[in-house]
Amino acid sequence: MLSSALPAHALVEALPDTVVVADGDGRIAYVNQAVSALLGHSPASLMGRSLTVLMPERFRGFHGEGFRRFRLTGEGELVGATTQVPALHASGSEIAIDLTLARLEPAPGSDPDGAVVVAVLRDASTTILLERQLQVSRYLTATLRVTAALAGAADSDVAFEQLLPTLCTELDWDAATLWQPESGGGHLVHSRTWEAPGASIPALVADSATRTFVRNQGLPGLAWQHRAPVVVEDLWTDPRFLRPDAARADALRTGVAFPVMRGDTLLAVCELFSREQRTVPTELLDVLTHAGRQIGQFLGRLRAESEVRELAETLQRSLLPSHLPTVPGIELAARYRAGGSSALAGGDTYDVMPLPDGRWMVLIADVCGTGAEAASLTALTRHTARAASAAGSPAAVLDAVNTALLREQDTGPLRFVTAVCLVLESAPQGRRVSLSIAGHPAPLLRTADGAVVALGQPAPPLGVDDDTVFTDHSVDLPAGCTLLLYTDGVTEARDDAGEQFGEDALRRLLAGPGCSEAEGTAAAVVAAVEAQVAGSRHEADDMALLALTVPA
């Protein structure tokens, strides 16, 4: 039968793939010259030898019966597709090949046992390399997407909530659990679980809720101990995995755990689970190691930023009154919103305090800049104004603050302060206010009929010139009027196109029906500013406002 194929001999010899023909006894009856390049054998050295000479030792015991069944029926585990298998090189090493099998039927009327088997062998190293490169590319893409998902997280809790589903989705795992050190640091406790759609794992969730791990215990403890990814390919039988019953109940077969590290500090251990029993390639372990440290650095920075924000909030609260006092015959409302800057604290402040003679001092101020130095000047402004309030005159208060700021700024860059100080007292027809302005937006007065007017005449800002003269301006506040004091974070709020909210828009807003009392005025102004800056690329400034209403 081989002789009938001889006319095609030259064609087969020219093929780059190795072609092996075996007879009914599983012995090599023909092999082309390509076997020399692929497996290091000469064709002559293989003739008449068993096909097992090309197989690694561990596969030879399964060869005989499988070969006979395939030769007789054409059926077998390797039939129907090209399969990647290891082959034995003449040097004794193993190489990966793509194997395709075919059965040649015997001639009509001849012995059915005369069927032969043809195998085509092709070097799979290039395919494997390409697949690995694609896989590594995919792993790196997953890492980048994890980083992108974490970038918008406000705190570590949100970051971990985004971490688990992103890892599982990008790397094709069915579930994930997160373990974090308890406060004492001696045990890992379960933090959260994520399940892919349709991959419910109730048994593992229930088990994890009551379990803790120490170093070198269970899959999380091993990752903690080794500070590197740990793989359990069979969760049902590997004694290192301490939750086999839960894994069986949830049909989970393979798991990998990797630590999230910041330097030498363990922040968490993440477990990934698959319902398919799978081999975890070295490339994935390398990516998980890198991802664990990268995520740890990110979370460490996030935690530090969170601590700074908490410190900034504490500092900012110290620059504002803890609550507004009750002023007889006056309704008060205030709002403060920090700007978008990452600086330690903003420079806006306001204050309302009683004077010994029954009057009340009201202050609103805005320090140039942000950060610790600006916060220091804000505190100086507020406390100096309080100390000078006994003088009773708003102009005298601003003059005292100006002197203190100039003394403070003997060295360093110039930082000025704008402010409005007013003193509120009773009057025959309601209330009277004396006010003095230092480079600050003038207060706006809304009368009972909805008219809006600006009050006072601004002098230069505080902290610029010791010869500045501050003057008082007095005005009656009749029943039904509202007085608004605000910082420029209100009028200079910009939309995405850079358009400012502006004083005209603020005046129109105050003239509307929703601004007839203090609380409604404060709420309406904040809502309008928030609408102005919604979706804007421009960073918002600090904003403070104080509304006073004389009830009708």
Q: Where are the domains of the chain?
A: 2-123, 134-310, 319-549
Give the pLDDT confidence of 21-31 residue by residue, as tens digits: 888 778 888 89
Q: Which of 279-283, 413-417, 539-543 has the lowest mean pLDDT?
A: 413-417
Does position 345 have pLDDT exceeding 70, yes or no?
no
Residue 442 has what pLDDT? 95
β strands within 9-150, DSSP E = 18-22, 28-31, 83-88, 94-104, 116-123
Over residues 149-165, mean pLDDT: 69
Does position 228 have pLDDT exceeding 90, yes or no?
yes
Higher pLDDT, 172 or 369: 172
β strands within 41-165, DSSP E = 83-88, 94-104, 116-123
d(CA 334, CA 525): 11
Report the half-sphere exposure of 525 (CA within 13 A, side-chain side).
Answer: 36
Residue 168 has what pLDDT? 78
Query: Which tokens go with 335?
Result: 């709002």
Over residues 404-427, mean pLDDT: 82
- Over its C-alpha atoms, the chain yields an Rg (Å, rounded) of 40
Tell me the CATH number for domain 134-310: 3.30.450.40
Beta-carbon contacts of 61 under 8 Å, excluding residues fewer than 6 positions away, are none
Mean pLDDT of the chain: 83
Does position 72 have pLDDT exceeding 90, yes or no?
no
Query: Which tokens go with 523?
Result: 């709420």
Report the half-sphere exposure of 86 (CA within 13 A, side-chain side).
Answer: 11
Residue 221 has what pLDDT? 95
Count the Cβ atoms, other than its own, within 10 Å of residue 516.
Answer: 17
Residue 291 has what pLDDT? 76
Count the Cβ atoms, other than its own, within 10 Å of residue 195.
Answer: 20
Three-point CA angle 154, 156, 162, nearest 5°: 80
Residue 6 has what pLDDT? 47
pLDDT tier for residue 307 given thresholds of 50, 70 and 90:
low
d(CA 183, CA 195): 27
Does position 395 have pLDDT exceeding 60, yes or no?
yes
pLDDT tier for residue 256 given thresholds of 50, 70 and 90:
very high
Three-point CA angle 81, 87, 92, nearest 5°: 175
Count the Cβ atoms, other than its own, within 10 Å of residue 351.
Answer: 22
d(CA 458, CA 274): 71
d(CA 378, CA 316): 10
Residue 394 and residue 415 in contact, taking contact as beta carbons nearer than 8 Å: no
Q: What amino acid is encoded at 190 in this protein?
A: H
11 sits in which H/E element: helix 9-13
Query: Which tokens go with 494?
Result: 């910009």
Over residues 357-384, mean pLDDT: 82
Give the pLDDT confidence of 268-288 residue by residue, as tens digits: 899 999 999 998 888 788 878
Q: Which of 243-257, 299-313, 354-368 has the lowest mean pLDDT?
A: 299-313
Rounded (10°) CA dihedral 370, 376, 379, 385: -100
275 sits in which H/E element: none
Coil, helix or strand at residue 309: helix
Nearest to 273 by CA among 215, 219, 209, 221: 219
Coil, helix or strand at residue 242: coil
pLDDT tier for residue 318 given thresholds of 50, 70 and 90:
low
Domain 2-123: CATH superfamily is PAS domain (3.30.450.20)
Rounded (10°) CA dihedral 124, 129, 132, 133: -150
**Token pair 């971990």 in the structure block, residue:** 160
d(CA 552, CA 372): 43
Question: What's this model's pTM, rounded to 2 decimal places?
Answer: 0.51
Tell me the CATH number for domain 319-549: 3.60.40.10
Higher pLDDT, 83 or 387: 387
Coil, helix or strand at residue 428: coil
Residue 254 and residue 234 in contact, taking contact as beta carbons nearer than 8 Å: yes
Chain centre distance of CA 160: 8
Domains 2-123 and 319-549 share a fold: no
d(CA 174, CA 275): 7
Beta-carbon contacts of 383 under 8 Å, excluding residues fewer than 6 positions away, are none
Helices 125-151 and 282-318, packing angle to 10 deg = 10
Over residues 339-364, mean pLDDT: 79
Percentages of the chain per state (helix, strand, coil), in multiples of 5: 40, 25, 35
Residue 136 has what pLDDT? 66
